[in-house]
Structure 1
Amino acid sequence: MQVSLNSSILTTISEKTQTKQDTLLNKNNEEKLKEFSSMSAKELSNSYFLQFQAQISAQTTSNSSAQSALSGVISGVPSNLSEILSGLDLSSIGYNGTAIDKLNVDEASALVSEEGFFGITNTAQRLSGFVLSFAGDDLEKLQAGREGILRGFNEAQKAWGGNLPEISQKTIDKTLSSIDEKIASLGGNVLNVSA
Structure 2
Amino acid sequence: MNLEISYESKGLITYSQSNQEITGKDKKLTGKQITNSYLAEYMAQAIKESKSTFSTQANTFTLADIGYTGKPIGELTQDEAKALVAEDGFFGIAQTSARIADFVINGAGDDLSKLQAGRSGMLQGFAEAEKLWGEKLPEISYTTMQKALEKVDARIAELGGSVLDTSV
TM-score, length-scaled by structure 1: 0.49
Which structure has the greater CA radius of gyration? 2
Q: Deviations over 1:6-39 (max 9, x none)?
A: xxxxxxxxxxxxxxxxxxxxxxxxxxxxxxxxxx
Partner of 1:156: 129
Residue 132 of structure 1: aligned partner: 105
Q: Which amino acid aligns with 2:135?
A: G
Tell me: higher relative CO, structure 1 or 2? Use CA pairs within 8 A at least 6 residues apart: 1
CA distance in 2, matches of 1:105, 1:155: 29
Question: 1:89 Cα deviation (Å)?
Answer: 4.1
Farther off after superposition, 135-144 or 171-180: 135-144
Q: Which has the higher helix share?
A: 1
1:190 Cα deviation from its structure 2 partner = 1.1
**What is the CA–CA distance in structure 2 between the aligned matches of 1:159 and 1:105, rounded to whole Å?**
25
- Bigger share in strand: 2
Of the candidates 142, 146, 152, which is equivalent to residue 179 of structure 1?
152
1:35-74 correspondence to structure 2 within 5 Å:
none
- Deviation at residue 171 of structure 1 after TM alignment: 0.6
- Specify every segment of 5 or more residues in structure 1 that has no aligned partner in the other structure, as ranges: 1-86
Q: How many residues align?
A: 107
- CA 1:136/1:153 → structure 2, altered by over 3 Å: closer, same or farther? same
- Whether 1:165 and 2:105 are equivalent positions in the alignment is no
AA in 1 matched with 2:155 = K
Indicate which of 83, 92, 96 corresponds to 1:110: 83
How many Å separate the matches in 1 of 2:100 and 2:161?
20
Distance in 2 of aligned mates of 1:102 and 1:160: 24
1: CA distance, partners of 2:165 / 2:67: 32
2 CA distance for matches of 1:130 and 1:115?
Answer: 19
Distance in 2 of aligned mates of 1:146 and 1:93: 19
Q: Percent identity?
A: 55
